[in-house]
Amino acid sequence: MPMLEKMVEPEVTVVMPTYQRWSRLGRTLQCALDQTGVELEVLIVSDGEERMPPDLLEPGEDRVRVIYPPEAKGVAHARNLGIQEARGRWVAFLDDDDLWAPDKLSRQLDAARASEASWVFTSALAVDDRMEPVELFRAPKPEGLLPALFEYQRIPAGCSNVLALTDFMREVGGFDESFYQLADWELWIRMAAAGPAACVDDVLVAYVQHSGSMLLTHREWVFDEFNRFLAKVRPLERSAGRKLNIEGYVFWVAGRLEDAGQRGRAIKVSLYAGVRYMDAGVLVNAFRLALGIPRRPVHSEPLPSEAPEWMREFAAS
């Protein structure tokens, strides 16, 4: 009688939420399956009714599971289902439009083990669909991370970056499902307060920017969520001795809308926030937008002349 081959337990569970964006998910799934030096499984959590096209998987590929929740409850719920179902000691998150370097997970594991960290992140490069560089985001230093997170969401590329111990994610409670845009930022603050972090300085994540991003397509009033976010983090503000940088968040939202050609929404955001939070700088920004005056460039990391080779390979495909 032939011996049954022992199933290899995954070291990392990759959680990929999607809302039927199968055309984007194909290359993202491939970059997860092409990770080197690590045993993994991929959990695709589909937040819609359509079934995944069968041709997205190679015949015999048994490292991928697809979860179809009985009803769509948003991306935070989808990620929490992945945490709940994960078999790996570590869990990583990957949005269906972003990309990883082939050694991303193995290098994060090395960094986490070296410093006995509960979670780890890397630097990231924002690119367009042609893999042309848009903005470089350096990983923040783990030292002083909690106070830094009150300045703004400093984890480059958000959820597509973080690798964490699965038990740690369960202990901190996962993503708050009442949030949509801000679920990752709110969770990073809780994680920074609960356990040590590590970082890899190199760019190992491609943060793909396009017109289908959540901020540009989600029509709920963004400050309904932000005001609930402010209320929830207030106790942690007191313990950290820091205040959340409201002005910085408002300028970020208005800037993203302005860059996407949604100047009317950017003006509305700035007027509301300037009055609601009594911020003169934000009100001035509303008038600048109304008059069509270009905003001053802000200091940012110098862009590389081209994306890393591993990113360019995805553009060619």
Q: What is the pLDDT of residues 257-282, one digit of tens each?
A: 998 899 999 999 999 999 999 999 99
Summarize the confidence of residues 151-172 as an average pLDDT.
Answer: 96
Residue 4 has pLDDT above 50, yes or no: no
Mean pLDDT of the chain: 90
Summarize the confidence of residues 172-177 as an average pLDDT.
Answer: 97
Summarize the confidence of residues 175-192 as an average pLDDT.
Answer: 95
Residue 317 has pLDDT above 80, yes or no: no
Summarize the confidence of residues 32-43 as an average pLDDT.
Answer: 97
Candidates 1.10.3720.10, 3.40.640.10, 3.90.550.10, 3.65.10.10; CATH matching 12-212: 3.90.550.10
pLDDT band with cut points at 50, 70 and 90 for residue 7:
low
Amino acid 3: pLDDT = 45
Amino acid 217: pLDDT = 58
Q: Which of 121-125, 227-231, 293-297 has the lowest mean pLDDT?
A: 293-297
pLDDT band with cut points at 50, 70 and 90 for residue 24:
confident
Place of tokens 């009985």: 70
Summarize the confidence of residues 283-305 as an average pLDDT.
Answer: 88
87 φ/ψ angles, rounded to the nearest 5 degrees: -100, -15
pLDDT digits (tens, 9 = 90+) for 86-113: 999 999 999 988 999 999 999 999 999 9
More confident residue, 47 or 136: 136
Summarize the confidence of residues 241-255 as an average pLDDT.
Answer: 93
Amino acid 129: pLDDT = 86
Q: Where in the chain is the domain with CATH 3.90.550.10?
A: 12-212
pLDDT digits (tens, 9 = 90+) for 190-222: 999 999 999 999 999 999 986 656 555 565 788
pLDDT band with cut points at 50, 70 and 90 for residue 126:
very high
